[in-house]
Structure 1
Amino acid sequence: MTDTAAFYAAIDGTWPAAKVTRAGSWAIRDGQGGGKRVSAATAEGPVAASDLGAAEAAMRDIGQTPLFMVRQDEDALDHLLDAHGYTIVDPTNGYIAPVAILTDIPIPRVTAFSIWEPLAIMEDIWAAGGIGPARLAVMHRTKTKTAILARHKDKPAGTAFAAIHDGIAMVHAVEVLAYQRRQGVAQWIMRRAAFWAAENGADRIAVLTTAANGPANALYRGLGFRQVCGYHYRTAPENT
């Protein structure tokens, strides 16, 4: 059983901000253009309306529009931000499974490979999905990591990134080329990531997807993942 605290720690450990500082009870992430996950502030203790300004100022000081991640059971924070005009963005589901349930069948030859550093074709696939240099920089900041290249019908089909934190292998940046979708490519990506995870000492595998992504949610549930937690962002009024 993985508790929510361990899951959230794995998010930070496998998709790290360039820098994390403190402003009172807030953790302020410097994402350097790497997306919301590495740029959102989180409450690391009780906060009140009088504390909000410190977080906003700290984010503006590093050139970021105020953005907060609201994790499961942080209802008081959610109400506080709502009262100050912050709007919800990207509700996200967090899934986890034992590695063993994805290593029960062999991966067909030349279907999916674990490769680090990423090949140019993998970077091209990510770029087609909006995953550019700033997010690639996030990947390079991690320690135990790999990338997955999937092929279908003898052509590159998809890619993903995986890293390990405290026994949890988390898969990020899953991207399948549009014309290669609905062919089982993402399933083989996840299975290859699980084999890599087992080889590197992880016993659990995790993944994140937005609640609105119906196909991805169905895929992970179908593979035996269970939802363990979730979060959403609240973005500043001037960013809406």
Structure 2
Amino acid sequence: MIDAQAFYDTIDGTWPAASKQHIGSWTIRDGQGGGKRASAATGDATGDIEQAEDAMRALAQTPLFMIREGDTALDADLHARGYQIIDPTNGYVTPVETLTDIPIPRVTAFAIWEPLAIMEEIWAEGGIGPARLNIMERTETKTGILARWNEKPAGVGFVAVHEGVAMVHAVEVLEHQRRQGVAQWIMRQAAFWARDNGAHTLAVLTTANNGPANALYQQLGFASAPGYHYRILQTKDDTSP
């Protein structure tokens, strides 16, 4: 599969911040309202935490750190400063061939870019608004996935490629269309598109407490990849991974 650094680089490459700056040992991300993944600082325990806090506050962002595999010392330092854990997140990876073994049934799932209005509406219903759509626009090799079920729109996803790894983000299934296999077809369509766009691996993220999503990815043959959690001083309304 891929190592931890390549996995984290894929997150950055497929769900990018508006801008990044390197201050000391820190990477400071300007998320412009796009959620934690595009806004969290990363670094290590050798860095000056107050320096990172000041840089994030200068961007009008609440200090927020992503704790990745191996960041044990930083995690302990932030805990001692009163930072709380939020959104433990699991990563998953699989070769694209794992999900291209079954043809997509006719008119079940489509790779579409630019997003259709119905896709934006489904994302909006799941809390994925203009700031996150702007993140999607910033990527290079990308597509949206639209799934249909019972002859009606059912769900959406977004997938982008970074150095041979395609990562799926923003999977949303309409409530009345859930528990019917819609998310499976979104992931399978993502795999076909990824294969056709030069990717060898498909990756996805989900919060640790999202039981149905974790079960789905495991059932589809995904293997565990490096995860992360955040440390934050003040909980925000935004709970996306």
**TM-score, normalised relative to structure 1:** 0.97
Give CA deviations for 1:116-151 in whole Å, capped at 9, x if unaligned. Answer: 000000000000000000000000000000000000
Tell me which residue corresponds to 1:62: 59
Tell me which residue corresponds to 1:97: 94
Unaligned runs of at least 5 residues, structure 1: none
Deviation >4 Å, runs of 4+: 237-240
- Rounded to whole Å, the distance in 1 between the matches of 2:184 and 2:67 is 29
Q: Does 1:86 align with 2:83?
A: yes
Tell me which residue corresponds to 2:17: 17
Unaligned runs of at least 5 residues, structure 2: none
Tell me which residue corresponds to 1:137: 134
Letter in 1 for 2:46: V
Tell me which residue corresponds to 2:38: 38
- Rounded to whole Å, the distance in 1 between the matches of 2:98 and 2:133 is 29
Letter in 1 for 2:195: A
Structural RMSD (CA):
1.2
Matches within 5 A, 1:154-193: 154-193=151-190
Which of 68, 72, 87 pairs up with 2:69?
72
Q: Is the 8 A contact 2:149 2:177 kept in 1?
A: yes
- Rounded to whole Å, the distance in 2 between the matches of 1:228 and 1:114 is 25
- Rounded to whole Å, the distance in 1 between the matches of 2:123 and 2:134 is 13
Letter in 1 for 2:118: I
Deviation at 1:99, TM superposition (A): 0.1
Tell me which residue corresponds to 1:47: 46
Give CA deviations for 1:81-133 in whole Å, capped at 9, x if unaligned. Answer: 00000000000000000000100010000000000000000000000000000
**TM-score, normalised relative to structure 2:** 0.96
Tell me which residue corresponds to 1:2: 2
Which of 101, 116, 129 pairs up with 1:119?
116
Deviation at 1:23, TM superposition (A): 1.6
The number of residue pairs the alignment matches comes to 237
Give CA deviations for 1:139-164 in whole Å, capped at 9, x if unaligned. Answer: 00000000000000100000000000
Letter in 2 for 1:106: P
Deviation at 1:76, TM superposition (A): 0.4
- Rounded to whole Å, the distance in 1 between the matches of 2:196 and 2:103 is 14
